[in-house]
Amino acid sequence: MTDFSDRAPITFQDPLPSAVDVVVVGAGVIGISTAWFLRQAGSSVLVCDKGRVAGEQSSRNWGWIRQQGRDAAEVPIAMDSVNLWESISREVGADIGFTRCGILYTARTERELARLERWLRIAERHQLDTRMLTGAEVDALVKDKPGQWAGGMYTASDSRAEPFKAVPAVARALQARGVALRENCAVRALDVTAGRVAGVVTEHGRVRANAVVCAAGAWSTRFLGNLDVALPQLSARATVARTAPAPNFYDGGAILGEVAVRRRQDGGYTVAASSTNEHFVGADTLRYFSEFLPALRSSTRFLDVRFGGDLLSRLFPTRHWHADEVTPFEKVRVLNPEPSPDALREMRAGLIERAPKLADVPFEEAWAGMIDVTPDVVPVMDEIARFPGLYLATGFSGHGFGIGPGAGRVVAEMVLGKPARHDLARFRFARFDDGSKAEVGPGL
């Protein structure tokens, strides 16, 4: 069994340096990938995580390294990212399960097929190997219950890796290359001198730095909130399970109607309900409601609004604190939500209906993660104008694992002041308050 909680042993305990070039807040795939490219360029780097390396989204995800179905601005970065995952997987000297296995979206009706087909124009623009499949071609790939599909969209170069292994393996390789990594080390506050970032204050002391990258996932809004910077981002619970070893009826990742499956290195499948992301109403829902309206109205169904749980504490969160106080980050070391029983039922029903070869294969483990969603379902990668030297890389909205190394390189190059290799206008922070109309990404 995998330990997803703050009971997992602490494995990264480097002493805090007094000064580095860059401090990275958060050791998920984005923080670790950013550190990877900063180090490659010769920077000294400290990565702090309040809990564990990849303790939150970056180990809990489906393991899809997907280019297809993305926002047009993300595609070139995602295409870089597949190649970077492949090269990094060789360099880290550990098997992270990287495989170019293909990703498939199926369509039950001609209407669904037409919706998928619209995305093909984006693929063609970037010469991505995405193609439409007939029902018979889907049946040739997915060897279970033939005859149920009108067709599908397939990208053979899309890939997978094992999330529990991947980011920790990169972190170990980073440590061997001289990057300091520290778990159970919340960054409490930013150190600002003469209007510029001068470092951070962690729960274990102060570290001077020329630049700070906030890659805090679902916590980024809180981290910035303490600086009175408003980041419209909400969290959504997504539930996942892994099956016992099962017959290999399909080797890649696929959306099969209501259920998503991905072949695992251990011979089982990672399974999820394909579009259940539960957002529990809290203070930020009310605060950012108008920003999220276009996404809530769109067909992406990225947020299923719920009222349960500890509503009171969500309505009155701690918004401000001083650097000498225990912060919300230390109170929740590892965000480890209970899996949703409804989602687990949906998944089982989906398997019975769509992939009968898995109908009776038991779930050996179930877990959930909190996805960080922005109003337009694309991330922010930008410097925060009010705090020169503070960079934000967050809001990957349920698809940051695949694009992680590509995004990490983008952020590292931004910090290093290098010319951007892609058009990054779509990811600017100012889009939320400069009067531009929210363009919700495809969320396919």
Helix (H) or strand (E) holding 48: strand 45-48
Distance in Å, CB of 174 to ligand FAD, minimum? 14
Which sign, positive or negative, has the C-alpha torsion 399, 402, 404, 409?
A: negative
Nearer to ligand FAD, 320 or 437 (CB): 320
Which residues of this protein are in contact with ligand FAD, per CB under 6 A?
Answer: 25-31, 48-51, 55-58, 60-64, 66, 186-187, 215-219, 223, 238, 240, 329, 369, 371, 394, 396, 398-402
State which residue, 46 or 358, has the beta carbon closest to ligand FAD.
46
**β partners of residue 370:** 237
CB of 131 to ligand FAD, least distance (A): 21
Residues 6+ apart with CB under 8 A from 404: 29, 30, 32, 33, 58, 81, 85, 167
Task: In angstroms, give the least distance from the CB of 345 to ligand FAD.
Answer: 17
Distances (CA, A) of 81 to 30, 69, 77, 171: 12, 15, 6, 17
Closest to ligand FAD by CB, 216 vs 390, is: 216
Cβ contact 232:241 at 8 Å = no
Q: Which is nearer to ligand FAD, 27 or 150 (CB)?
A: 27
Residue 329 CB, shortest distance to ligand FAD, in Å, is 4
Cα–Cα–Cα angle for 244, 247, 249, rounded to 5 degrees: 125
Token representation of residue 139: 């049946």
Pairing of strands 234-243, 269-273: antiparallel
Q: Tell me which residue of 209, 206, 185 sits closest to 390, measured CA to CA.
A: 209
Residue of 407, 336, 408, 307 lying closest to 75 (CA atoms): 407
Beta pairing, strands 234-243 & 205-214: unpaired
Closer to ligand FAD by Cβ: residue 135 or 340: 340
Closest contact distance (angstroms) between CB of 206 and ligand FAD is 14
Task: Provide, rounded to whole angstroms, the least separation between the CB of residue 189 and ligand FAD.
Answer: 9
- Beta carbon nearer to ligand FAD, 135 or 159: 159
Nearest distance, CB of residue 254 and ligand FAD, angstroms: 12
Q: Which is nearer to ligand FAD, 35 or 150 (CB)?
A: 35
